Amino acid sequence: MFLQKRAGSIMDYFLYFYNIILVLVYGLLMFLYFQLFVQKKERLHLWLALLFSVYLVDELYYSSLEFIKALPVLYQEFPIFNRVFLLVLNMILLICYRMILACILHVLPSKKERGLMALYSFFRLGVTFLLSFTAIPRWASVCLITINLLPHIWMIYLSFRYAEHIRSDLSPAICTLLKSSVVLWSFLCFGCSYSFYFGNISGVRIVFIEIISGIGIFFAIWHLLCVSRSRKKENSMSVLSEADLETLFAKQYKLTPREMEIFRYLMEGADNAEICEKAVISQSTTKTHIYNIFRKVDIKRRSQAAGKFLEFCREYTQGHPL
């Protein structure tokens, strides 16, 4: 008996600190994504911030059920409050999932899809009120589960149809992996929706919520690390001045200082006479330098000089030096 009580107290402490850690992680991710949205104005960051804010509210809600003893009694007296609250969370999650998918695949919801989503929301609301006051037979529960699955089937369909829009430079193996992960993610989201929809099914809910939380946190941290590396690369590249890029360009194409000076005049659109005057060299020397520049840089006309340099700068700043 003593060991059982001690094991129970240890588990209570574990759940207490575990919930605190989850709240802190969700809050931190929500804050970081909101901060990214304010800085970059990208909608993907906004929807990810809203997603983790819903996770945060959900975690606070169920933590209150575990540690504030008066709340479960209150929800038993007013079950409709519990069901409506879970329905609202579920619908917000569905909207977040769909809009995150829209940002990644570049497929925004059409007017028809928005109308169907509104009808689906009203249907779910009506069923929620019905389940709060009456019991339904098993066949009706199966029908409701099937209807509840429809938005996730639609998102799986969109993911497979528009998977090539994710990134054009990914290998077929990675695209296949992404498609497979969409199926797993949608299945887990459906499990989460199922537990939300039918109320207090704590065992099922805990399994799905913890798995989804782990996957969501993993991908969020991975995404934030990628964003951080990208921003560091952008900052390091932005420090490079035009003179630094010209030095790198000359080193890449083995141009002498005099040839790089003349190449700079070519980018400005100067003719041979202007180059002779600015560089203080003869016409024959100018022609020789221009011939050598065209051969080394692999261009055939003066008008291509500026484009060649811009192409080099673009490739270098993207992290792919020539």
Q: What is the pLDDT of residues 130-185, one digit of tens each?
A: 777 777 777 777 777 778 778 877 877 777 777 656 555 445 555 565 556 565 65
My answer on whether 68 and 156 are in the same domain is yes
Which of 205, 237, 269 finishes a domain? 237
My answer on whether 19 and 56 are in the same domain is yes
Instruction: Say yes or no to pLDDT of 194 above 70.
Output: no
My answer on whether 178 and 301 are in the same domain is no
Give residue 280's domain range: 240-317
For the chain, percent of residues with pLDDT exceeding 70: 68
CATH code for the domain in which residue 247 is found = 1.10.10.10
Position 322 in a domain: no
Name residue 239's amino acid.
V
My answer on whether 226 and 300 are in the same domain is no
My answer on whether 131 and 178 are in the same domain is yes
Three-state secondary-structure class, residue 167: coil
My answer on whether 198 and 297 are in the same domain is no
How many Å apart are CA 10 and CA 282, to the nearest integer? 90
Burial string for 105-133 (b: 16+ CB within 10 Å, else e) reads bebebeeeeeeebeebbeebeebbeebee
What is the pLDDT averaged over residues 248-256?
A: 84
pLDDT of residue 261: 87
My answer on whether 167 and 279 are in the same domain is no
3-state secondary structure 46-76: HHHHHHHHHHHHHHHHHHHHHHCCHHHHHHH
Q: Which residues contact 153 (CB under 8 A, 6 or more apart)?
A: 186
- Structure-model confidence comparison of residues 34 and 18, the more confident one: 34
pLDDT in tens, 213-232: 677 777 778 777 777 776 66
pLDDT of residue 2: 45
Mean of pLDDT over the chain: 74
| CA-based nearest residue to 87, from 200, 187, 212, 199 | 199
My answer on whether 275 and 293 are in the same domain is yes
pLDDT in tens, 80-137: 777 787 788 888 888 888 888 787 777 788 888 888 888 888 888 888 777 777 777 7
Which of 180, 206, 237 finishes a domain? 237
My answer on whether 226 and 259 are in the same domain is no
Position 170 in a domain: yes
Position 123 in a domain: yes
pLDDT of residue 204: 45
Total count of domains within the chain = 2
What is the pLDDT averaged over residues 298-312?
A: 83
Which of 237, 256, 287 finishes a domain? 237
My answer on whether 39 and 105 are in the same domain is yes
Position 9 in a domain: yes
Supply 42's token pair.
């990208």
52: buried, middle or exposed (CB in 10 Å: 19+, 13-18, 0-12)? buried
Position 254 in a domain: yes
∠288-289-293 over CA atoms, to 5°?
A: 120
Position 296 in a domain: yes
pTM for the full model?
Answer: 0.60
My answer on whether 181 and 269 are in the same domain is no
